[in-house]
Amino acid sequence: MPPDHPEPHRPPSWARAALFRHRQLLRFAVVGGICFVLTNAVNYALKLTVLTAHPVTALGVAVLVATIVSYVLNREWSFHDRGGRERHHEAALFFLISGVSLGLNAAPLAVSRYLLGLRTPAVDLLTQEVADFVSGIVIGTLVAMAFRWWALKRWVFPRAGVRVVRGGGERPAPTGKSRDRAA
């Protein structure tokens, strides 16, 4: 007779091992997803209320808010077991890399619009908007995400297993065992 509460389906062991091995990348992707949603929510909230005449300002504020949230979430969750820099250096590098990423994110859209000429009146509005979405949102986001992943591990959080404390010393990073169970 089957039990009253069957055990929930578990992924195969090879999949669990792969998820565990790449948990830092998965956390990074989750933070990116959260910040993508936050950017759009703040942008549209501002653009549809107090900044209706200033959509670029609305987007700038939204990107700034999401970048700050991204730094905190990446530092405390995605890369919680990495360090090697004092916090002010870490934050400055994070924001510098975020600025470079913003340019990388916009580059495919600029190519689509200005080099390939996929804008009205050369093409219809639907073609322009689909090209904008594919080049800016899909391709641009993927390029910027790959760069951020590499750059954050390389320069912002360069050393695994340590965190810098005030005064320049180092302490072991949290083991993540309790965090891994909660995540």
| Residue 147 vs residues 14, 26, 55, 116, 144: alpha-carbon distances, Å | 28, 15, 27, 24, 5
Query: Is the same domain home to 121 and 104?
Result: yes
- Residue 173 within any structural domain of the chain: no
pLDDT for 131-145, tens place per residue? 888 888 889 888 988
Percent of the residues in the chain that have a pLDDT greater than 70, as a whole number:
85
Separation of alpha carbons 151 and 96, rounded Å: 10
Asked whether residue 167 is assigned to any structural domain, the reply reads no
Please give the span between the terminal C-alpha atoms of the chain, in angstroms, as a whole number: 34
- Is residue 58 within 8 Å of residue 46, measured between CB atoms? yes
| 76/132 same-domain check | no
Q: What is the pLDDT of residue 173?
A: 54
Looking at the 3D structure of the chain, how many domains does it have? 2
Band (pLDDT 50/70/90 cuts) for residue 178 is very low
Span 90-110, mean pLDDT? 90
Integer Cα distance of 153 and 79 in angstroms: 8
Between residues 6 and 79, the one the model is more confident about = 79
pTM: 0.71
pLDDT at 102: 87
Mean pLDDT score, 38-43: 90
Check residue 124 and give its pLDDT.
95
- Residues 121, 67, single domain; the answer is no
Instruction: Give mean pLDDT, residues 80-86.
Output: 81
181 has pLDDT over 50: no
Domain hosting residue 32, numbered range: 22-81
Q: Is the pLDDT of residue 103 over 80?
A: yes
Rounded to whole angstroms, the Cα distance separating 44 from 19 reads 34
Bridge partners of residue 163, in order along the sequence? 171
Check whether residue 94 and residue 51 sit in a common domain: no
Any domain includes 50: yes
Domain assignment present for 62: yes
**Average pLDDT of the chain to the nearest whole number:** 83
